[in-house]
């Protein structure tokens, strides 16, 4: 069974009198545990597709089933609930809240969970998630005290903490240098391999896409190609030595 089952997805934006056809009928299945890259030039409709897959937006027509649940006709609040439960987001610009410590950032999704999670459990789960991304020693740092790579790790921990069905990563390495990018991709691969999390990347960098096992090209609102990657690149194993945090202190980035 597919985690994501999309049929004839159409999205039309109205800008004044002009209709913009962002998606013209996209059908797509993604199985559990897949690691997929959605690629395409800007204006191709890949961002629109990602917004709909992320339950941030709704299609004009067509259906979208997430784990068998039709989410294409839900209310705003119902969509928010689905996002909180089943989807983790990782953004290009990290989107962390200013002035909050790493642990608090990661606790945020638990704050909005339907069943209230007690404060102690929240803290514990947030710490576990940060340990998984190798930031055990940066629990109480604020975004301004962290490097770009570390900030993105906090964002990944935030995406993980609710044990989502899928993680949507929108140009997750766009603001990072190539070495840190490789480290982040290695982390994604590890999470995918060890925990079987379905990860969908939206990117226009072929360098990033080659770490995945399937590449979907979008052009003019339609799927142009959908091919498996026969030999996915593996991030430098040295960076993955053990599960200990290998990156901290080795990042050459200046904290922003």
Q: How many degrees, rounded to 5, is the angle at CA 134 between CA 239 and CA 39?
A: 65
Burial of 54 (C-beta count, 10 Å sphere; 0-12/13-18/19+): buried
The answer to whether residues 139 and 248 touch, using CB atoms and an 8 Å cutoff, is no
Least distance in angstroms from the C-beta of 128 to another protein: 17
Nearer to another protein, 96 or 216 (CB): 96
Least distance in angstroms from the C-beta of 94 to another protein: 10
Least distance in angstroms from the C-beta of 88 to another protein: 8
Burial of 216 (C-beta count, 10 Å sphere; 0-12/13-18/19+): buried
The answer to whether residues 161 and 2 touch, using CB atoms and an 8 Å cutoff, is no
Strand pairing report for 61-66 and 214-219: unpaired
Give the interface with another protein as residue ranges (CB under 8 A).
51, 54, 56-57, 76-77, 80-81, 83-85, 89, 91, 95-99, 108-109, 111-113, 116, 158, 162
Burial of 108 (C-beta count, 10 Å sphere; 0-12/13-18/19+): middle
Nearer to another protein, 140 or 207 (CB): 140
Nearer to another protein, 35 or 55 (CB): 55
Nearer to another protein, 87 or 223 (CB): 87
Task: Give the three-state DSSP class for 87.
Answer: strand
Name residue 166's beta-bridge partners: 87, 198
Which phi and psi angles does 180 have, rounded to 5°?
-65, -35
Least distance in angstroms from the C-beta of 126 to another protein: 12
Nearer to another protein, 7 or 142 (CB): 142
Nearer to another protein, 34 or 170 (CB): 170
Least distance in angstroms from the C-beta of 250 to another protein: 28
Least distance in angstroms from the C-beta of 56 to another protein: 5
């Amino acid at each position: 069974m597919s985690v994501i089952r999309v049929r004839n997805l159409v999205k039309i934006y109205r800008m004044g009198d002009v209709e913009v056809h962002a998606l013209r009928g996209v059908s797509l299945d993604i199985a559990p545990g897949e690691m997929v890259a959605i690629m395409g030039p800007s204006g191709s409709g890949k961002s629109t597709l990602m917004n709909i897959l992320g339950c941030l937006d709704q299609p004009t027509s067509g259906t979208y089933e997430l784990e068998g649940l039709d989410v294409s006709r839900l209310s705003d609040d119902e969509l928010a609930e689905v996002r909180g439960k089943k989807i983790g987001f990782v953004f290009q610009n990290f989107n962390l809240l200013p002035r909050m410590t790493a642990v608090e950032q990661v606790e945020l999704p638990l704050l909005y969970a339907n069943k209230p999670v007690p404060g102690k459990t929240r803290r514990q789960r947030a710490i576990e998630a940060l340990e998984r991304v190798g930031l055990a020693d940066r629990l109480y740092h604020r975004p301004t005290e962290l490097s770009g790579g570390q900030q993105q790790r906090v964002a990944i921990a935030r995406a993980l903490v609710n044990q989502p069905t899928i993680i949507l990563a929108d140009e997750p390495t766009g603001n990072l240098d190539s070495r840190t990018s490789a480290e982040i991709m290695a982390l994604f691969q590890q999470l995918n391999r060890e925990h079987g999390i379905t990860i969908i990347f939206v990117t226009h960098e072929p360098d990033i896409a080659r770490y995945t096992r399937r590449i979907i090209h979008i052009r003019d609102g339609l799927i142009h190609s959908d091919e498996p990657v026969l030999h996915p690149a593996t991030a430098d194993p040295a960076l993955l030595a053990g599960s200990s945090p290998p990156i901290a202190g080795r990042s050459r980035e200046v904290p922003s």
